[in-house]
Amino acid sequence: MAMNPSKKLYIQVICAIIAGVLLGHFYPDVSIEFKPLGDVFIRMIKMMIGPIIFVTIVVGIAKGHAESAASFGKLALKTVIYFEVVTTFAMAIGLAVGLYMQPGAGMNVDLSSVDTSSVASYKAAAVPFSTVDFILHVVPTSLIEPFVKGDMLQILFLSVLCGFALSLSGLPGQSIVTQLEKATVPLFKIVGMIMRFAPIAAFGAMAFTVGKFGLGSLKNLGLLVMCFYITSAIFIVIILGSLARYSGFKPWTLLKYFREEALIVFACASNEAVLPALVKKLEGLGCRKGVVGVVLPMSYALNLDGACIYYTMAIAFLAQALNVELSWIDLLTIFGILLLTSKGSATVTGGGFITLAATLATVHGKVPVEAMVLLLGVDRLLSEARSFTNFCGNVVATIFMARLEGAIDMTHANKVLNGNTSPPAKIDLIAERSPPVEKAQS
């Protein structure tokens, strides 16, 4: 019996990760040179993110769940409320662990004796951030600017406008929507071609990480890394696990279903690398296309659970390293600022550091932006757990909202997860044939 292409990819990625770890351990100097393999893969995927998100949201609004402005508004409002609640929990947990474990205590860093030139570009981007700045940033200055910059928030804004415009344009609008729906076939075909390189990318990324930081870096590179990994695991198991169970799913069964994507995210430290695959797999699980098309892209921009844990823990770490006392007023201010600055940061290269810099700049110099130089050495290790936690949060958010809206076929979902029926062929991104165009559900 021929092996399922998805299972074949899963095995290839595991083998590639093991090979990367071995190369990094025994030949560290050589393995560092393999970093471009992972970088090129991520850039190829990012190249497709904008068009896929645009088409997915436009079709989702025009022909899916959002049959009217009112229905879309209700779904979007519920989704945003969910994101704010869950990310606030993430920030609170990250801060609590950071304050309790105090990973930066005793470092007694004097920034005047540290070379901070490596964070100069982040400091330049760290302008104070306000609500007005956030709103102005969401609105692009041209139709092509969001796609050129890869700005997820602006792509979301443009997609929503276009989706409503087409839904209100009668037959001409529906004709365009039909063509956009057909355009998903070549778009996902391109993604399928790129996904063939996932094992190579995983090999290069892991070889670089182990070669640069050592084999021990996979387990522990300082108390900060250990605290972050443990905190992320606690958040995934307790918070996201509870939400998954409330939605009617066993967390381990879900993780098994999305195992290929989970491995790629962790190895490449990029949540964006699997977005196209998630769209199809969630639809194959039984989630209504319109809900997936609205919630999942919004989740990538607004539901950054791992990043939120990182931001608060990193700020606590830096304050402890510099012997800076943060009052409760300072902490509440940081929370309020991060509720805005964290949105969309994962879609910009270096977005996590820029967000952290903007937050520090807004807290009026309590913790200097230059202090971020202390995080550069371990950022790669932190980004792996950060991306994996974001990935888990995005999957659970979409399933939770689909269940809340009654927009998931639980009978079909249970059959898929229990192996009693095969997922639709269209979710197999590395299949030789092109996926069929699915009719939008009414």
In a domain, residue 433? The reply is no
* 84 pLDDT more than 70: yes
pLDDT at residue number 291 = 87
**Rounded distance between C-alpha atoms, residue 25 and residue 207, angstroms:** 8
- The whole domain housing 230 covers 5-214+221-427
* 41 pLDDT more than 50: yes
In a domain, residue 285? The reply is yes
Could you tell me the two tokens for 359? Answer: 């937050």
Q: Is 349 helix (H, G, I), strand (E, B) or coil?
A: coil
pLDDT at residue number 198 = 83
Could you tell me the two tokens for 46? Answer: 């990012």
Name the burial class of residue 277, with classes exposed (0-12), middle (13-18) and buried (19+) by CB atoms within 10 angstroms of its CB: buried
**Rounded distance between C-alpha atoms, residue 77 and residue 71, angstroms:** 10
Backbone angles phi, psi at 292, to 5 degrees: -60, -45
Distances (CA, A) of 73 to 77, 160, 402: 6, 11, 15
In a domain, residue 434? The reply is no
pLDDT in tens, 236-258: 999 999 999 999 999 999 999 99
* 233 pLDDT more than 90: yes
pLDDT in tens, 267-301: 877 787 788 889 889 989 999 887 888 898 888 88
| 84, 339 Cβ separation under 8 angstroms | yes
CB atoms within 10 A of CB 76: 17
**Rounded distance between C-alpha atoms, residue 97 and residue 89, angstroms:** 12
**The whole model's pTM is what?**
0.76
| 223, 380 Cβ separation under 8 angstroms | no
Distances (CA, A) of 194 to 39, 181, 199, 200, 436: 13, 21, 11, 11, 19
Nearest by Cα to 308 from 381, 191, 234, 386: 386
**Rounded distance between C-alpha atoms, residue 205 and residue 16, angstroms:** 10
* 347 pLDDT more than 70: no
* Total structural domains within the chain: 1
- Mean pLDDT computed over every residue of the chain: 79
First-to-last alpha carbon distance for the chain, in angstroms, is: 38
| 305, 234 Cβ separation under 8 angstroms | no
Q: 131-135, 138-142, 308-312 — which one is most confidently predicted on average?
A: 308-312
| 370, 119 Cβ separation under 8 angstroms | yes
**Alpha-carbon torsion (411, 413, 414, 416), positive or negative:** positive
CB atoms within 10 A of CB 42: 17
DSSP 8-state assignment for residue 65: S
**Rounded distance between C-alpha atoms, residue 270 and residue 383, angstroms:** 8
Nearest by Cα to 90 from 305, 311, 376, 375: 305
Query: DSSP per residue over 88-143, as a string?
Result: HHHHHHHHHHHHHH-TTTT----GGGS--GGGHHHHHH-----HHHHHHHHS-SSS
Q: How many CA atoms lie within 13 A of 258 on its CB side?
A: 30
In a domain, residue 96? The reply is yes
Give residue 91's identity as a one-letter amino acid code: M
Torsion, CA 370, CA 372, CA 373, CA 379, rounded to 10:
-160
Nearest by Cα to 146 from 32, 274, 28, 51: 51
CATH of the domain at 376: 1.10.3860.10
pLDDT in tens, 199-225: 888 888 878 877 876 655 444 346 888
Could you tell me the two tokens for 375? Answer: 């995080």
